[in-house]
Amino acid sequence: MAAALKIDQFNLLDDGECDARIAAAKALLGKRLAILGHHYQRNEVFKHADFTGDSLKLSRLAAGTDAEFIVFCGVHFMAEVADIVTEGKRTVILPDLAAGCSMADMANLVKVKKCWEELAQVLDPDEKVTPVTYINSAADLKAFCGNHGGIVCTSSNARGVLEWSFSRREKVLFFPDQHLGRNTGLRMGIPLEQMVTWDFMKPRGGLSDEQIRNARIILWKGFCSVHQMFQPAHIDNFRKQHPDGKVVSHPENAYEVCQKSDYVGSTEYILRTVRAAAPGTHWLVGTELNLVNRLADEMKPKGVTVQFMSPTVCMCSTMFRTDPQHLAWVLDNLVAGNVVNQIRVPADVSQSARVALDRMLEVVD
């Protein structure tokens, strides 16, 4: 085995040289390698993916592949899920370890355990509350849910997961994204006054005993830094210019944005909806820029206009960290017999997290 190649050797390469190295490495590694590309990845990386999709779809593809090496062009929690669902039988690699998720970082195990302990001052959470974590969260939070009768959800199955949760306990603690929880609750007919926001920077979440007792959903005060950029005024301006236009938004957007949208759904839902659009229609899309730009290019020849919701550029900066240089680096190391940036979830955490993930898969399958 040769000495591991250093990333510094690749940072100075231009994208063309990286493309050539990536193609050569893929040819040499063959079926031993599977590259997964999340929808939010930059095009320079996305084009090299063997499989594309949202985080859950990609992790399930990872579980079904025979590839020895899974290179996940996404962010840290996605690579963790891939390691969990493959039960440590594959080598999962994240090209840049700095590719995280600001939303996931807003809820950590220490804060969630503190919340659980403070809820216990008012009620018995293990009897009254189902913890639900969005898949955009660290593995140890998924494990927390697994250990406390809880479950994982995605943006596409959140409603089914909440229905499952309420069938077991009267309340839900939903983290880390308040907006997905609130928008899903509203679609289920739960009024806003029965959904309270837990501010993890304040004692007892800034809530009174009465608020906690009366709440059906306790929403963690987290959010996606990309989706918070979209505003109701963006939709109002679009409708003035295109009265017959359609608006589709991701449920990570604020309540006010989703209320003004014609359609609300996951990344895969957005793609399906716009791809089914009639020629001559004009669409405003409220989600990450790279996905919207690719969708616009795809639909233009079909006579469908796709417009990004925000007038300013707002892409997922952590997802953007994965570049051709890092991808070429990890692949060249694999060719040389070296594994760099492997993501491995500790066995005890993985086992409990898998319980919560399996519950979700049982609910939605």
CATH of the domain at 72: 3.40.50.10800
49 and 158 co-located in one domain:
no
Which residues, other chains included, contact 350 with Cβ-Cβ below 8 Å and sequence gap of 6+?
83, 84, 87, 88, 139, 143
Confidence of residue 62 (pLDDT cuts 50, 70, 90): confident
What is the helix (H) or strand (E) element at residue 8, kind and residue range? Answer: helix 8-11
52 and 24 co-located in one domain:
yes
Q: Is the pLDDT of residue 301 over 60?
A: yes
Examine residue 363 and state whether it is found in any structural domain, yes or no: no
37 and 95 co-located in one domain:
yes
Decide which of 262, 282, 308 is a domain's last residue. Answer: 308
Domain that includes residue 301, residue range: 227-308
Q: What is the percent of the chain with per-residue pLDDT over 70, rounded to a whole number?
A: 97
Confidence of residue 200 (pLDDT cuts 50, 70, 90): very high
128 and 169 co-located in one domain:
yes
155 and 263 co-located in one domain:
no
Half-sphere CA count of 264, side-chain side, radius 13 A: 23
The total domain count for the chain is: 3
Q: Is the pLDDT of residue 193 over 80?
A: yes
Encoded amino acid at 186, one letter: L
pLDDT score for 143: 98
What is the helix (H) or strand (E) element at residue 197, kind and residue range? Answer: strand 195-198
Q: Is the pLDDT of residue 264 over 60?
A: yes
Between CA 289 and CA 309 the distance in angstroms is 9
Decide which of 207, 225, 243 is a domain's last residue. Answer: 225
3-class secondary-structure state, position 307: strand
Examine residue 337 and state whether it is found in any structural domain, yes or no: yes
pLDDT score for 1: 60
Task: Please identify which residue in the block is written with the tokens 């250093």.
Answer: 6
161 and 259 co-located in one domain:
no
77 and 33 co-located in one domain:
yes
